[in-house]
Amino acid sequence: MQLNPAMRLLSLLPRASVAAITPRIRNRRSAWGVRGSLPRRVSLTIATIGFLLPFLAWCVLSTSGRVDPVFLPDPLQVLKRCVDWLLNDDLMSDVGVSIGRVFGGFVASAILALPLGVAIGTYAPVRSLLEPLTDFTRYLPAVAFIPLIMLWVGIDESAKVSVIFVGTFFQMVLMLAEDIARVPDAPIEAARTMGATNGEIVKYVLIPAARPAMLDTLRQMMGLAWTYLVVAELVAANSGLGFSILKAQRFLQTDKIFGGILLIGLIGLLTDQAFRWLHRRCFSWQHRGR
């Protein structure tokens, strides 16, 4: 039997040394160790610092007088613009419209990508038929499809949703297929030994084993969907955060551009945290000790 490098190294040491080292290896998980852990409070503190550092750099640069406010407005100016946007314009309506478009494209993509991803990751003929085409299509930029989408779908709300769908669908299919393909062979062979049919193996072995990874893939794809929002709202939009950013650019309202970008990032972050919370609730056994 071949030993992995770590076990081979331990085998070369005297038994007394191994006995002394092994408890330390098992019990000590320092912050700087491989896959080390941090107390939650410390982790949140470091994450807060990670946000504060670029914010402080922004404050220093924008208030130093060395950068024209047209190019880099200060945070207070951006905040005032957002308050004005909220009180005197349609900020909440823009937020609601953009959320609806992103979720519409994402949900449509997930409904089609989930069964296709499972089929590609499970059955070799389906993988040979669809994986090369999907792999090719995912490298085509979604913005290149805008003229075709306008021609086929029109310029109404479905066109914006379609851009987000095209931007996420092919990548989602391949990632979900990879989640299914990564399920170990051992439980599959055990199910076969017990007389399970192919359908039962897919339903009771593959999908349950891949669910944590598949939910994480959906979380990542939701993040990708938000990155296509501004592109989607290029298509004859008259509302939405992306549309407001593009409109502000025409009038050199840089503070509103910054505000719109930060709002998209904030909503995306909240969505990401919601997916993480759902992952912890559904698959708590994966998060023990973290």
State pLDDT tens for residues 141-188: 888 888 898 889 888 888 999 999 999 999 999 999 999 999 999 999
Residue 289 — pLDDT band, cuts 50, 70, 90? low
Give this prediction's pTM.
Answer: 0.82
Percent of the chain with pLDDT over 90: 60
Residue type, 289: G
Residue 22 has pLDDT above 60, yes or no: no
How far is the C-alpha of 94 from the C-alpha of 258, rounded, in Å?
15
Short-list 197, 198, 178, CA closest to 118: 178
Residue 40's pLDDT is what? 81
pLDDT of residue 112: 96
Counting Cβ atoms within 10 Å, is residue 214 exposed (0-12), middle (13-18) or buried (19+)? buried
List of residues 6+ apart from 71 with CB closer than 8 A: 254
Domains of the chain, residue spans: 74-285
Indicate the CATH number for domain 74-285. Answer: 1.10.3720.10
